[in-house]
Structure 1
Amino acid sequence: MLTAEDKKLILQVWEKIANQQDDCGREALERMFCVYPQTKTYFPHFDLNPGSDQVRSHGKKVVAALSNAVKNLDNLSQALSELSNLHAYNLRVDPVNFKLLSQCFQVVLAAHLGKDYTPEVHAAFDKFLSAVAAVLAEKYR
């Protein structure tokens, strides 16, 4: 459960990276494909080379979904319901991948924010991204 302080930190960080969000999405995907190559199986039609248009485009979609989640911190299930349905019923993505991408996104945030990525921010984003991953995986049950 996100506390009021967690929500405040998430909103503050999201504003700080507002002009870097697309880069963060792309970098998180690139990192995931490099560190967890098994995740590439869901993208057989993509050019998965770093900086490719397809990776950049999908990174924008990831960030758009996270932006929607940030705007709806009090109702993540409703905000991400359509995306959860898509991944569970159409794309059939292994829900473990949501956690892997969350970890990669945290590394990217830390790299972009530097000293502003405090232990408190890390903890808040860990809770937030875990909640997002859980919502995306809830239709699998």
Structure 2
Amino acid sequence: MEEAPSAADGCGNERDRQRAQVLDRLSFLAAHPDQAEVVEHGAGCDPASGQVFASREYRWASLDARRVITFYQGLAAHDGWQPWPVSSGPGTTGDKVDPAAQGLGAFLCFTKQVGASPAFMELYFQDSSVHGPLGDVYDVVAWWPRPREPSGC
């Protein structure tokens, strides 16, 4: 019998709760450029879809987007994450991904086998006008697609 979703993490069972913690410990989420400050951190399950995820939101007083992109592209390559074509995004030509161009738009997308299932990782930049003098914000999110859910970003 499935447990009711926890108010804290939205997960309906212990298996999904543990999977969220596996994602939360991935170095891609924990590592960040020195200038970035963690402002929000979460792991759990989306209450609407049940999707297992982990995420970090970072603030950087004077964001250098190219430096952020380069940092995460290097980390992804070192940890075995592969670029994933972004639907209708820059850097995609059919099934091929141009890693140099992928991050020049709104986000990066990567995939990697984590345990028995492919996981996805996304880096995206928020609209800087929202945060004003507090600095620019970017997010890093990892998730496992639910059964019968399309893969990718």
Give me the TM-score of the superposition, normalised by structure 1: 0.28
More helix by share: 1
More strand by share: 2
Larger Rg: 2
